[in-house]
């Protein structure tokens, strides 16, 4: 507060101050004559007697106090200004508090924080590697770790038993909304454990974070659900349990109501019919419903139809296909409702309706924003066929232990094997996942060979790990969480970029520094690299 009567010269100088000037001021602290209870400093003021301008500020490219909608490009270009905003600052401060609580909790339980290398060899987590050329070993490259997976397992072989690290990981993925090429993981590994030890540790870790940082008490143990059940009830391996609207297998009902020949044949050949039932609402438009039919086809489903159940009758395409008298009551009971039904291969149908369930949940605003619904998803398949890569891949990663003996399993039977892996899901978002690991060289070799690696490739890529397993490797298991995502969820943000101080845009660019950048001819020469299209 500058008082014109007290000091006219100082008052005039103060009038020249602009937004974000840095000043040093001294004066007398006093009660305000007209207190403002709406601001934290509303009861007191400083009557300034002396003031020095330490630095001026150019006109601001983005407003700091006023809420404005700035483009992401501008926000990231001037991130240091964006971070001055209250909300952003708070996110970063809360991130530190969460980190601190994690460290406190794990230290108390005897975990030790151990650093693992960034310049290393490929770690298979399903993405591409970022490569770093080695100048002093021409023609050779380091890979930045996609996760510390192999090193944390080696630390178990080394006898550390309880490891953790809050660590940067690097994954070169194609443009995907809300992914960052570098992100932070909370990485954990333990020896002589089974799944229950992991659940107990993590349940308590999340209890502590939410209690000590947010004063929220969650109920533990966190419930568990097997992958197959999650798929058949929610059509997703990361179900959002904040609302019901579960999928129903109506294959039996359809059969009972004597379906048309081609439907009966489909079922005969192994197709299933699933249905989702939502309340009637004007928000679900005819256009949306008709569009679902096209989308279902694109998703690989054989038949999709919707029908409106009103006053006991049914209308819409469903009526023509399945509408024998009374079928709607078997599916939707006595409710006024919309039935969405889908026929085809089990997982395709489940996944499609799972997607629609989430969409309709959003349209009808079914998920309460302030609810935290945690769930463990367990018993994933060990392998799956990847259409994109046209080969068999690990659902988690190749170090995951099978649930049963795998040494004698051959052919398509491998798809039936479940793994000892688990994901922790919060409100439909996967917070993290892990597994009990393979600790025997013969089992690990078998998994690699199922994944199509030759003996030479196994040796070249993972020989050092298999060798380590020969020297008394203890049984072990662990888990890792996406810390950015965790903070985002707890802070109620929609994007991980809101909780990372200096993130990249969705296309992997840093508008602040201009990275990634071109490098000089000399640097390339030193590395022995020649660009193709230069
Ligand atoms: N390395 C795994 C991942 O990054 C986590 C784990 O299995 O512990 O997803």
Best residue among 123, 186, 397, 419 to mutate for probing ligand 1, ranked by most atoms within 8 Å of CB: 397
Average pLDDT of the residues in 104-119: 98
Specify the pTM.
0.94
**In terms of domains, do 262 and 359 share one?**
yes
So what's the pLDDT on residue 130? 97
| Pair (353, 476) in one structural domain | no
Indicate the average pLDDT of the chain: 95
Mean pLDDT, range 433-450, rounded to an integer: 96
- What mean pLDDT comes out for the span 271-275? 97
Tell whether ligand 1 has an atom less than 6 A from the beta carbon of residue 125. yes
Reply yes or no: is the peptide bond before residue 78 cis, omega within 30 of 0.
Answer: no
The stretch 159-176 carries a mean pLDDT of 94
Residue 39 and residue 96 share a domain: no
Query: What is d(CA 272, CA 267) in angstroms, rounded to the nearest whole number?
Result: 6
Instruction: Find the domain containing 277 and state its range.
Output: 243-363
Q: What is the CATH number of the domain that holds 311?
A: 3.30.1360.30
Locate the ligand 1 atom nearest the alpha carbon of residue 147 and give its number.
4
Q: What is the pLDDT of residue 357?
A: 98
CATH number at residue 396: 3.30.930.10
When pLDDT is cut at 50, 70 and 90, the band that residue 534 belongs to is low
Does residue 147 line the site of ligand 1, with CB under 6 A? yes
At 335-344, the pLDDT tens digits run 899 999 999 9
- The verdict on 395 and 484 lying in the same domain is yes
Average pLDDT over residues 181-197: 98
pLDDT of residue 311: 86
Checking if the pLDDT of 177 tops 80, the result is no
For the cut 80, the answer to whether the pLDDT of residue 249 exceeds it is yes
Domain boundary among 363, 389, 406: 363
Q: Establish whether residue 479 lines the binding site of ligand 1, counting it when its CB lies within 6 angstroms of any ligand atom.
A: yes
> Is 165 close to ligand 1, i.e. is its CB under 6 Å away?
no
Same domain, 93 and 215: yes
| Ligand 1 centre distance from Cα of residue 413 (Å) | 25
Same domain, 294 and 213: no
Verify that 356 and 444 share a domain, yes or no. no
Q: Is the dihedral of CA 92, 98, 102, 105 positive or negative?
A: positive
Tens of pLDDT, residue by residue over 370-382, are 899 999 999 999 9
For ligand 1, atom 4, the nearest C-alpha belongs to 147
Q: Is the pLDDT of residue 480 over 80?
A: yes
> Are 27 and 147 part of one and the same domain?
no
Same domain, 324 and 411: no
Q: Is the CB of 434 under 6 A from ligand 1?
A: yes
Q: From the CA of 433, how far away is ligand 1's center (Å)? A: 6
* 424 CB near ligand 1 (under 6 Å): no
Asked if the structure places residue 507 within a domain, the reply is: no
Q: Are residues 319 and 192 in the same domain?
A: no
Pick the residue whose CA is nearest to atom 1 on ligand 1.
149
3-state SS track over 290-355: HHHHHHHHHCCCCEEEEEEEECCEEECHHHHHHCCCCHHHHHHCCCCEEEEEEEECHHHHHHHHHH
How many angstroms is it from 216 CA to the middle of ligand 1? 27
Q: How far is the CA of 122 from the centre of ligand 1 (A)?
A: 14
Average pLDDT over residues 136-160: 96
* 202 and 287 within one domain: no
User: How many domains is the chain built from?
Assistant: 3
What pLDDT score was predicted for residue 358?
98
Q: Which residue has the tokens 């660019």?
A: 509
Higher pLDDT, 124 or 501: 501
Query: Which residue owns the Cα nearest ligand 1 atom 6?
Result: 434
Q: Are strands 131-133 and 141-143 parallel, antiparallel or unpaired?
A: antiparallel
149 lines ligand 1 (CB under 6 A): yes
Residue 312 above 90 pLDDT?
Answer: no
Q: Buried (b) or exposed (e) across 115-143, using 16+ Cβ within 10 A? A: ebebebebbbbebebbebbeeeeeeeebb
pLDDT at 174: 84
Whether 436 lines ligand 1, by a CB cut-off of 6 Å, is no
Nearest to 487 by CA among 448, 421, 429: 429
Instruction: Kindly state whether residues 122 and 173 are assigned to the same domain.
Output: yes
């Amino acid at each position: 507060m500058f008082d014109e009567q007290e000091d006219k010269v100082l008052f005039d100088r103060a009038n020249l101050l602009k937004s974000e000037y840095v000043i040093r001021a001294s004066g007398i602290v006093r009660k305000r004559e007209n207190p403002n209870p709406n601001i934290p400093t509303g009861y007191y003021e400083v009557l300034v007697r002396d003031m020095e301008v330490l630095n001026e500020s150019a006109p601001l490219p983005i407003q700091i106090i006023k809420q404005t909608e700035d483009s992401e490009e501008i926000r990231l270009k001037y991130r240091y200004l964006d971070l001055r905003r209250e909300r952003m600052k708070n996110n970063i401060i809360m991130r530190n508090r969460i980190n601190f609580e994690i460290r406190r909790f794990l230290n108390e339980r005897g975990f030790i924080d151990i650093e693992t290398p960034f310049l290393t060899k490929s770690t298979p987590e399903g993405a591409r590697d970022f490569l770093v050329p080695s100048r002093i070993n021409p023609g050779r490259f380091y890979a930045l770790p996609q996760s510390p997976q192999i090193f944390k397992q080696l630390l178990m072989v080394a006898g550390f038993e309880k490891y953790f690290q809050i660590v940067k990981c690097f994954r070169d993925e194609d443009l995907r909304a809300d992914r960052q090429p570098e992100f932070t993981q909370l990485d954990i590994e333990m020896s002589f454990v089974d799944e229950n030890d992991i659940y107990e540790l993590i349940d308590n870790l999340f209890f502590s974070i939410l209690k000590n940082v947010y004063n929220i008490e969650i109920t533990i143990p966190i419930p568990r659900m097997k992958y197959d059940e999650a798929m058949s009830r929610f059509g997703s391996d990361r179900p959002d349990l904040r609302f019901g609207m579960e999928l129903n297998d109506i294959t039996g009902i359809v059969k009972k109501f004597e379906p048309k020949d081609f439907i009966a044949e489909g079922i005969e050949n192994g197709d299933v019919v699933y249905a989702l039932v939502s309340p009637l609402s004007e928000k679900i438009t005819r256009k949306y419903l008709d569009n679902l039919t096209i989308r279902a086809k694109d998703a690989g489903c054989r038949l999709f139809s919707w029908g409106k159940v009103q006053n006991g009758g049914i209308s819409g395409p469903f009526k023509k296909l399945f509408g024998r008298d009374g079928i709607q009551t078997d599916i939707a009971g006595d409710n006024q409702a919309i039935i969405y039904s889908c026929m085809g291969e089990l997982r395709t149908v489940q996944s499609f309706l799972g997607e629609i369930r989430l969409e309709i949940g959003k349209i009808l605003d079914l998920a309460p924003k302030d609810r935290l619904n945690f769930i463990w998803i367990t018993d994933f398949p060990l392998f799956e066929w990847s259409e994109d890569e046209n080969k068999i891949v690990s659902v988690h990663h190749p170090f995951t232990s099978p649930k049963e003996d795998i040494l004698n399993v051959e052919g398509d039977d491998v798809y039936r094997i479940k793994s000892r892996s688990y994901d922790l899901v919060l409100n439909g978002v996967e917070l993290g996942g892990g597994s009990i690991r393979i600790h025997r060289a013969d089992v690990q070799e078998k998994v690699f060979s199922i994944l199509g690696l030759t003996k030479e490739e196994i040796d070249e890529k993972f020989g050092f790990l298999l060798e380590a397993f020969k020297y008394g490797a203890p049984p072990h298991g662990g888990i890792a969480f996406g810390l950015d995502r965790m903070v985002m969820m707890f802070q109620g943000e929609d994007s991980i970029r809101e909780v990372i101080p200096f993130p990249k845009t969705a296309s992997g660019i840093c508008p602040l520094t201009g990275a990634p950048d071109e490098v000089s001819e000399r640097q390339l020469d030193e590395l022995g690299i020649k660009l193709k299209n230069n």
